[in-house]
């Protein structure tokens, strides 16, 4: 998964290698290489989609044989709803509605759109390099390691593959949080209620967990790429390891807590989930109304105000579903053209994880006191401790990522170290600030916080002495 994710973060029309460079006004010009990176993320997302769809169909057949109509109906719903949304997303991104492509539209109607899109991406990749093609556009990125601007020449092949990769990033997130997450919750609940494990159901649970973890990983990478759009982002393997552990532990403990709580207080879990969903759904809209902003015009120029509102509602629903189970890593701004607030809010991040930890603690404590007889032979206290420790480990890996592995951590005005220092220690008086040693997490950004004229030693002298030196 890490190899696929590494190809994912380098796929934003930046998967290039320096072949010839020249320096013009401090800009390094890079030409596209003859062989581009293979679309591994497209193939991986298609494999996850097909595996989950086929396994869910087999499980529905098993439920039909045993007359489990309730489990079968919910499994079909959680299988078809994300599949339909994925087809609409791929059609919308590739703009195939007004084009004469009946075979592609037919496959989308048969819920096989990702297969034909993956085939198209592979065809483009294998044909790359056969004919010499001029670049069609230029893209400028800042390389933090070299401190220089890099001008990238984008060819038609790279542009087409980038479109496929961007489309499959969105479908991976939709599949993960509108399909895989409720599917995993349902099958784990059914497994506990029926008190036995089907091999097909276990396989579906494993596939959905992998899909959710990958979708959360894509969310984190997309958040970094959107926030630092003008910077050439390169994530290292240690960063991916921290993110995978962070997301896997966060999602596993969250889903397990909700399922265990639902086995003890079945009807109350609907209230808990509904309140979570409504809160995160209306939060961006309340902020939008408080700012008295207007609807973003960058969604689609051909949409009316009603169509724009519908698209924004669907986008907000996806945002809410993500935040019910894990941190979305972005903040919505419906008044902005890109719909994303680029500023990193440590306050909101801390509030989210603090509130989620308290909620999980309350839910798992209620399960401990109201658990069913099925758990009499299980050490319930050990389960509670393991879930709480698992969530704390998820938060720990998240902090390690932002403190040491984030590719743009040198641009942070404040880092995790400063937030913890601010919470755990009393603030120093303002007069003593000059005598305090700078924090290593902000040392790289202190030059950007002071005006450039203050960096000149002559500016520290009185005005008359400066004139005499001149």
3-state secondary structure of 142: strand
The dihedrals phi and psi of 231, each to the nearest 5 degrees, come to: -115, 140
Taking a C-beta distance cutoff of 8 angstroms, is the pair 121, 113 a contact? no
What 8-state DSSP symbol labels residue 455? G
DSSP state of 228: T
Sign of CA dihedral 340, 345, 348, 353: positive
Taken as a whole, the chain contains a residue count of: 470
Q: Which two tokens stand for residue 412?
A: 């942070």
Beta strand 135-143 with 148-155: parallel, antiparallel or unpaired?
A: antiparallel
CA–CA distance, 170 with 314 (Å, rounded to integer): 13
CA dist list (Å): 185 to 28, 74, 177, 351: 50, 11, 11, 25
Spatial distance between the Cα atoms of 233 and 303, rounded to a whole number of angstroms = 33
Residues 6 or more apart in contact with residue 255 via CB below 8 angstroms: 181, 184, 185, 188, 325
Residue with tokens 């109201």: 370
Backbone angles phi, psi at 252, to 5 degrees: -60, -45
- The token duo for 85 is 């949304």
Determine the pLDDT at residue 448: 39
Could you give the CA distance from residue 203 to residue 59 in angstroms, rounded to a whole number?
10
Chunk the chain into consecutive blocks of 10 residues (it has 470) and report each block's average pLDDT, rounded to whole numbers.
58 40 47 67 94 95 92 94 90 75 84 90 82 59 62 72 89 93 94 89 95 94 82 83 94 95 90 94 89 65 70 89 91 78 80 94 92 78 94 94 81 65 56 42 35 40 44
Q: Helix (H, G, I), strand (E, B), or coil: what is residue 196?
A: coil
Contact 232, 13 (CB under 8 A): no
Cα Dmax for the chain: 97
Among 15, 71, 11, 73, smallest CA distance to 45 is for: 11
Question: How far from 334 is each of 36, 276, 294, 297, 380, CA to CA, in Å?
Answer: 36, 20, 8, 10, 44
Q: Are 199 and 313 in contact (CB under 8 A)?
A: no
pTM: 0.80
What confidence score (pLDDT) does residue 14 get? Answer: 38
The one-character DSSP state at 290 is: H
Residue 30 is encoded by which pair of tokens? 């890079």
Q: Which of 154, 159, 155, 252 is nearest to 212 (CA)?
A: 252
What are the tokens at 95?
């703009």
Terminal Cα distance for the chain, rounded: 62
Q: Please, are residues 359 and 279 in contact by the beta-carbon 8 Å criterion?
A: no
Structural domain boundaries of the chain? 36-133+156-234
pLDDT at position 308:
76
Residue 310 phi/psi, 5° resolution? -65, -45
Backbone angles phi, psi at 333, to 5 degrees: -135, 95
d(CA 343, CA 60): 45
Q: What pLDDT is stored for residue 104 in this prediction?
A: 84
- Tell me which residue has tokens 């009603």: 306
CA pair distance 45, 165, nearest whole angstrom: 10
């Amino acid at each position: 998964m890490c190899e696929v994710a590494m190809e994912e973060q380098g796929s934003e029309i930046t998967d290039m290698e320096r072949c010839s460079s020249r320096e013009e006004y401090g800009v390094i010009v890079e030409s596209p290489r003859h062989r581009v990176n293979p679309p591994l993320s497209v193939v991986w997302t298609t494999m996850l989609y097909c595996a989950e769809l086929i396994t869910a169909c087999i499980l529905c057949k098993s439920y039909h044989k045993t007359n489990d109509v309730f489990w079968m109906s919910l499994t079909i719903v959680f299988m078809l709803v994300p599949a339909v949304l994925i087809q609409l997303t791929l059609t919308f991104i590739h703009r195939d509605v007004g084009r004469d492509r009946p075979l592609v539209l037919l496959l989308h109607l048969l819920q096989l759109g990702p297969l034909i899109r993956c085939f198209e991406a592979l065809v483009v990749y294998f044909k790359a390099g056969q004919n010499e093609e001029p670049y069609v556009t230029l893209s400028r990125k800042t390389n933090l390691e070299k401190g220089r601007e890099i001008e990238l020449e984008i060819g038609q092949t790279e542009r087409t593959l980038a479109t496929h990769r961007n489309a499959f990033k969105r479908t991976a997130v939709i599949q993960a949080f509108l399909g895989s997450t409720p599917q995993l919750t349902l099958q784990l609940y059914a497994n506990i209620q029926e008190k036995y494990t089907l091999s097909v159901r276990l396989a579906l649970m494993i596939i959905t967990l992998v899909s959710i973890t990958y979708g959360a990983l894509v969310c984190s990478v997309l958040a970094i790429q959107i926030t630092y759009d003008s910077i050439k982002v390169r994530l290292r393997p240690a960063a991916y390891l921290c993110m995978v552990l962070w997301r896997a532990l966060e999602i596993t403990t969250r889903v397990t807590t909700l399922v265990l709580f639902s086995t003890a207080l079945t009807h109350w879990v609907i209230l808990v989930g509904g309140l979570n969903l409504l809160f995160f759904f209306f939060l961006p809209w309340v902020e939008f109304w408080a700012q008295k902003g207007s609807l973003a015009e960058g969604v689609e120029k051909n949409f009316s105000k009603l169509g724009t509102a519908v698209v924004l509602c669907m986008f907000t629903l996806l945002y809410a579903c993500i935040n019910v189970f894990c941190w979305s890593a972005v903040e919505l701004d419906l008044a902005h053209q890109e719909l994303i607030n680029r500023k990193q809010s440590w306050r909101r991040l801390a509030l989210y994880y603090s509130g989620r930890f308290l909620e999980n603690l309350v839910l798992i404590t209620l399960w401990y006191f109201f658990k069913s007889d099925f758990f009499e032979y299980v050490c319930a206290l050990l389960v509670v401790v393991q879930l709480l420790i698992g969530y704390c480990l998820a938060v720990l890996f998240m902090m390690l990522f932002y403190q040491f592995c984030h590719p743009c951590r040198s641009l942070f005005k404040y880092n995790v170290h400063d937030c913890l220092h601010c919470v755990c220690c009393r603030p120093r008086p303002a007069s003593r600030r000059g005598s305090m040693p700078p924090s290593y997490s902000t040392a790289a950004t202190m030059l950007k916080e002071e005006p450039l004229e203050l960096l000149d030693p002559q500016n520290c002298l009185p005005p008359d002495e400066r004139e005499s030196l001149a």
